[in-house]
Amino acid sequence: MEEFFASLYEWFGLNPLYSTDMGDQLRGWDITCTDYIGTPWYVIIGWSMIGITIISYALQYHIINSPQFNKKHHWWIMALVIVLLNFLVAFLIPFNSIQSGDFCNLLYLSVSDSIGFGASNAVWSFILFILLTSFKYPRYLGINCRHTTFWKP
């Protein structure tokens, strides 16, 4: 799973949003600078992104599911909430590591790396939310919001 999330967040080798040192830190490069035996943040943040997005999808389409919450601006509000939550999760974890100095001293990490990783996580969560709301099943199990999608709000 680590390689999957690493390739996803590094945009399949392009990695335009943050440095390779941040990528090493997120893969789990330990504080002693010896091996990838530290916390695998790519996997943890990747699964949290999937979880936040799916829970928000279920909240809109299956739990709230009211006629007052099925307009296109409600879809965009939920998408904005998902993007902000996922940005904050992916920004705060590396940012706290940078602030506490809890990383290998051979790595050069900056706040802009944390912002870039947060932006990458936010974009992937938005893409996942578009995909979740584009397929008819399980969206059609909800009554009121089943026609609210990115493509046809």
Position 153 pLDDT exceeds 60: no
For the stretch 74-124, pLDDT in tens is 889 999 999 999 999 999 999 998 888 888 889 989 999 999 999 999 999
Residue bearing tokens 């790519």: 42
CA–CA distance, 132 with 137 (Å, rounded to integer): 9
